[in-house]
């Protein structure tokens, strides 16, 4: 099976190409308008397919002279849409297989969809092609001009560090085909949304994606039959494309190297905190302030170390993510919003894990509250500072580091998602040297849950909240145990 060597990547549209989602978003939009007291027809949306939800809804609103708050309308439309996805969304036959065949053939794969991220993620996870399996994903929010402007496809090429001539686009919509050709790319269309006669600008038209072959994608690109629709401005192809690797996270070794620098910054800040504790103990003549420094059970040191090391660690993490050109810091660290009810589900899972952990601990006769935590509480001196460090500082620094920066680098290495979850959980557990093997095991299991949440949601926010809740509950247990339980000393 031979491919034209000039073709290096395949850029897929999503709606109407990979997933049969057009009827679902159509039904959701009709239902949304009905809630606003307006009866619209499914065919009213047809001219706006592929242009993004803003235009998709706004175009129909203009047709009927309806004044619509697009942000609220889109939010409600997505709420209805996401309720339909689990039962009604399916991949087109052959779509998933074609993506994987491209990857196996050495072609790079990207997704360029005018939809918002919330819809893209839901669709991809439902059909078994989660976001982390793609080399690049460009959403409607990432470009100024939507299809039929070429912005979205040019952005995908830049993220792949390829020229337009090295990319072939698979589209289903008239606007999408026009955008691909305006970008100077070969375009293969599938007549799954529009009839073939409405897609004459495509280089090749197939009835269904299941009929596409690698030869169809690798054929020599023909000359564009459509001149650029927007030939000037910030959407023109750059004269020189980014260097190799831009748009992707740091590689495995670079990630490990930067991680060591971040760890060194953490240790330096912690050393400064230890010096502060020793100085305070000497000046005040209170040897008790320095008790437990060696074994990590000194609460004052823990509070000061976290207060000093968190800003340093976060700053270094942000810096090294920012230094990676072509990848926004928020995307690098997975700072992406997650729906409230989804966050609630992860918090419930953490609570269940906590109850199971406490039950096992009780059954095997181990103390529910480790002695080291009791000592930390009693030696805190400034209890509110300790609580702030444990519930806010530690989760922020550790999650941005482990499930943010490190996870991103490992995820895109040969270790993949499973390796990223296991490695970050293991290292996170090992650094908690103040606990014994049993305590580290519990932390490791919690780390597996955090990593799985990071992998499933493509966001670090569930990890942050679960970590904070876990530490809050542990702190509450210590307080109850010291004041009302059987703690002595």
Active site residues: 13, 15
Which strand (E) or helix (H) includes residue 188? strand 186-190
- Residue 388, CA distances (Å) to 64, 310, 395, 471 in order: 54, 12, 10, 10
- Asked if residues 407 and 457 have their Cβ atoms less than 8 Å apart, the reply is no
Q: How many CB atoms lie within 10 A of CB 173?
A: 27
Pairing of strands 9-12, 167-171: parallel
- Asked if residues 299 and 475 have their Cβ atoms less than 8 Å apart, the reply is no
Pairing of strands 108-112, 167-171: unpaired
What is the C-alpha to C-alpha distance for residues 257 and 413, in angstroms, rounded to an integer?
14
List, in sequence order, every residue forming a beta bridge with 187; answer none if it has no partner.
169
What is the C-alpha to C-alpha distance for residues 470 and 346, in angstroms, rounded to an integer?
12
Closest to 407 measured CA to CA, from 354, 460, 341: 460
What is the C-alpha to C-alpha distance for residues 193 and 30, in angstroms, rounded to an integer?
18
**Helix, strand, coil shares, percent, the chain, to 5:** 60, 5, 35
**Hey, CA dihedral for 371, 373, 376, 382, is it positive or negative?**
negative
Beta strands in 130-181 (DSSP E): 136-138, 167-171
User: For 224, what's the count of Cα atoms within 13 Å in the CB-facing half-sphere?
Assistant: 19
- Residue 426, CA distances (Å) to 24, 162, 306, 440 in order: 42, 37, 21, 9
What is the C-alpha to C-alpha distance for residues 307 and 298, in angstroms, rounded to an integer?
14
What is the C-alpha to C-alpha distance for residues 417 and 98, in angstroms, rounded to an integer?
22
Phi, psi (5° rounding) for residue 190?
Answer: -120, 125
What is the C-alpha to C-alpha distance for residues 465 and 452, in angstroms, rounded to an integer?
14
The long-range contacts involving 360-366, CB below 8 angstroms and separated by at least 24 positions, are 361/438, 366/438
For residue 101, what are its two tokens? 């065949």
- Asked if residues 419 and 455 have their Cβ atoms less than 8 Å apart, the reply is no
What is the C-alpha to C-alpha distance for residues 135 and 168, in angstroms, rounded to an integer?
15
For residue 155, what are its two tokens? 């952005």
């Amino acid at each position: 099976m031979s491919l034209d060597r000039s073709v290096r990547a395949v850029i897929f549209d999503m709606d109407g190409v990979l997933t049969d989602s057009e009827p679902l978003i159509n039904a959701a939009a009709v239902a949304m308008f009905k809630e606003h007291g307006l009866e619209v027809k499914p065919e009213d949306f047809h001219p706006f397919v592929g242009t993004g939800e803003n235009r998709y809804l706004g175009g129909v609103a203009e047709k009927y002279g309806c004044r619509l708050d697009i942000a609220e309308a889109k939010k409600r439309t997505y709420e209805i849409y996401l309720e339909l996805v689990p039962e009604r969304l399916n991949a087109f036959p052959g779509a998933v297989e074609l993506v994987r065949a491209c990857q196996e053939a050495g072609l790079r794969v990207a997704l360029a969809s005018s939809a918002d991220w919330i819809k893209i993620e839901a669709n991809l996870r439902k059909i078994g092609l989660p976001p982390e399996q793609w080399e690049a994903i460009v959403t409607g929010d990432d470009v100024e001009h939507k299809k039929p402007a070429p912005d979205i496809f040019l952005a995908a090429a830049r993220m792949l560090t390829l020229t337009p001539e090295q990319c072939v686009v698979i589209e289903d919509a008239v606007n999408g085909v026009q955008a691909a050709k305006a970008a100077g790319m070969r375009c293969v269309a599938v007549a799954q949304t529009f009839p073939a006669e409405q897609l004459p600008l495509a280089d090749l038209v197939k009835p269904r994606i299941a009929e596409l072959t690698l030869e169809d994608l690798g054929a020599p690109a023909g000359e564009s039959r459509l001149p650029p629709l927007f030939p000037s401005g910030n959407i023109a192809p750059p004269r020189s494309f980014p260097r190799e690797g831009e748009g992707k996270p740091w590689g495995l070794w670079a990630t490990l190297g930067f991680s060591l620098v971040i760890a060194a910054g953490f240790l330096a800040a912690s050393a400064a905190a230890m010096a502060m504790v020793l100085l305070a103990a000497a000046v005040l003549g209170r040897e008790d302030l320095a008790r437990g420094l060696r074994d990590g059970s000194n609460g004052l040191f823990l509070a000061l170390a976290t207060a000093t090391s968190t800003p340093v660690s976060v700053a270094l993490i942000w810096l090294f993510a920012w230094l990676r050109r072509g990848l926004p810091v928020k995307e690098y660290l997975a700072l992406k919003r997650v729906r409230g009810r989804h966050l609630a589900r992860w918090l419930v899972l953490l609570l269940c894990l906590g109850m199971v952990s406490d039950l096992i601990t009780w059954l095997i006769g181990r103390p529910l509250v480790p002695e080291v935590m009791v000592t930390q509480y009693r030696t805190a001196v400034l209890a509110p500072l300790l609580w702030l460090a444990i519930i806010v500082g530690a989760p922020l620094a550790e999650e941005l580091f482990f499930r943010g920066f490190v996870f991103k680098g490992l995820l895109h290495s040969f270790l993949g998602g499973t390796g990223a979850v296991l490695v970050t959980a293991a290292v996170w557990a090992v650094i908690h040297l103040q606990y014994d093997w049993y305590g580290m095991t519990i932390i490791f299991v919690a780390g597996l849950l955090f990593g799985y949440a990071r992998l499933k949601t493509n966001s670090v926010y569930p990890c942050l909240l679960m970590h904070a809740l876990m530490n809050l509950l542990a702190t509450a247990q210590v307080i109850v145990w010291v004041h009302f339980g059987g703690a002595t000393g």
